[in-house]
Amino acid sequence: MTEYFDALEVRDQGQREADLFAALPAALAAAQDRAPAIAAQLEGMQVEQIRSRQALAKVPVLRKSELLKRQQAQRARAGNVAKRNVVEHVFGGFSAIGWGQAARVFASPGPIYEPESKRPDYWRFGRALYAAGFRPNTLLYNCFSYHFTPAGSMFETAGLAIGCTVFPGGVGQTEMQVATIHDLQPEGYAGTPSFLKLILEKADEMQVPLPSLKRALFSGEAFPPSLQTWFAQRGIHGYQAYGTADLGLIAYESEARDGLIISEDIVLEIVRPGTNEPVPDGEVGEIVVTTLNPDYPLLRFGTGDLSAIMPGHSACGRTNKRIRGWMGRADQTTKVRGMFVHPEQIAAVVNRFEQVSKARLVVSGETGRDDMTLFVEVDGTPAAQLQEKLGNVVREVTKLRATIVFVGAGELANDGKVIEDSRSYE
């Protein structure tokens, strides 16, 4: 059996670059015709001339916050739901497909709506599963969420593309997860590292051995060396994959554990945060990705995540460039328990309560356990049940629980920060 998912992974880097930029003009021309928002992003440009990184860098970066605002604006103008243009008003003009052509539609926090077409392994995570050691005729126990966000589908379609059988475990119900893993004896797990840790700790508490689990592909959370060691001591080799609900797979880890290898069918740039300007290799900046996806053709999409290009290529033999992994956020948007929380969402919570003048969300916690605390300045004495009401609204808006702490007027720092990430990844 081959060591690599396909021959693309061991191409000469110069050939890879030539292949990507030879295909890019036609992909952009198709996107202009079918995705109005991409046509607007390319206004005044000759797409047939975008055949190099230097030419691509002249296209303005589209950041996730701008995609959200355009979708919201288009939905506000949608009018009669029965007659509206799905591509324009649901997806903000970024999608090239609508109902019928899309197999599923998902909603990420914001909400941002993303289509999934009917193409096999649409999100392209098969490559990451293969690098993590998953092979045909094995059982993949998938504990990513199967509702609202696309993570469950991302790993299910990847497993099916490889030839795995997939069990849709989803999230929650740890005792039932323990029993099912014990019964089915899956070899591999996909999900967040924190949830697998909870399952294994619950299994210890129940005195139920789970010896079948040998490998895992993690995403949605940090996977620091301490947690990697914790799983390895239990005989589970865990690897990371990095992607987004908009782009699918961006980069993945191999057995060499020497950075994250960039996916084969994207153009990845590192730009100076808040600008369109690429930075030299090795310098930390924002990850910006252009996809060749004909169904959802995002162009110079700014993820808001920080990383840097590493020198050379992986010791595993894959020849594409590598990034150092997730190194923080270029903006204040923060991932908590696998879900993005946006500053706009905290503002929406504050705006619902006249007595609340200011708030700051602090994300803390130990490895694998994220906690959210909303510190709230109120005018006067907090009204009865305000704490409970605030907690309910935070959960409604972000889909996550938070502890509510009241502070006096003027106690929160006047530094413009709405979300503070105080977690440690040591």
CATH number of the domain encompassing residue 403: 3.30.300.30
Q: Examine residue 349 and state whether it is found in any structural domain, yes or no.
A: yes
Q: Examine residue 214 and state whether it is found in any structural domain, yes or no.
A: no
Split into its structural domains, the chain has a count of 1
Mean pLDDT for 96-125 is 94
Q: Examine residue 417 and state whether it is found in any structural domain, yes or no.
A: yes
Report whether 186 contacts 212 (CB < 8 A).
yes
Domain span holding position 365: 339-421
pLDDT for res 416: 59
Q: Is the pTM of this model over 0.75?
A: yes
Length of the chain in terms of residues written: 426
Tens-place pLDDT, residues 388-423: 999 999 999 999 999 999 998 889 886 656 888 888
Percent of the chain at pLDDT > 90 equals: 74
pLDDT for res 392: 95
The number of angstroms, rounded, from the C-alpha of 89 to the middle of its chain's C-alpha atoms is 23
The alpha carbon torsion through 260, 256, 241, 25 (nearest 10 deg) reads 50
Q: Examine residue 407 and state whether it is found in any structural domain, yes or no.
A: yes
Q: Examine residue 397 and state whether it is found in any structural domain, yes or no.
A: yes
Report whether 259 contacts 324 (CB < 8 A).
yes
Tens-place pLDDT, residues 360-376: 999 998 766 889 999 99
Q: Examine residue 193 and state whether it is found in any structural domain, yes or no.
A: no
Over its C-alpha atoms, the chain yields an Rg (Å, rounded) of: 22
d(CA 304, CA 297): 18
Q: Is the confidence at residue 60, as pLDDT, over 90?
A: yes
Report strand pairing: 62-63 vs 266-271: unpaired
Tens-place pLDDT, residues 200-210: 999 999 999 99
Tens-place pLDDT, residues 285-306: 889 999 999 999 999 999 989 8
pLDDT bin (cut points 50, 70, 90) of residue 1 is very low
List phi, psi (to 5°) of 153: -70, -35
Q: Examine residue 227 and state whether it is found in any structural domain, yes or no.
A: no
Report strand pairing: 248-252 vs 237-244: antiparallel
d(CA 22, CA 48): 10
Report whether 224 contacts 251 (CB < 8 A).
no
Pure H helices in 77-150:
86-89, 126-131
Q: Examine residue 355 and state whether it is found in any structural domain, yes or no.
A: yes
Which structure tokens are listed for 338?
């696998």
Q: Is the confidence at residue 309, as pLDDT, over 90?
A: yes
The number of angstroms, rounded, from the C-alpha of 408 to the middle of its chain's C-alpha atoms is 36
Mean pLDDT for 335-348 is 85
From 169, 171, 185, 188, select the one nearest 236 (Cα to Cα).
Answer: 188
Average pLDDT for the chain: 92
Mean pLDDT for 111-117 is 95
pLDDT bin (cut points 50, 70, 90) of residue 160 is very high
Report whether 68 contacts 76 (CB < 8 A).
no
pLDDT bin (cut points 50, 70, 90) of residue 2 is low
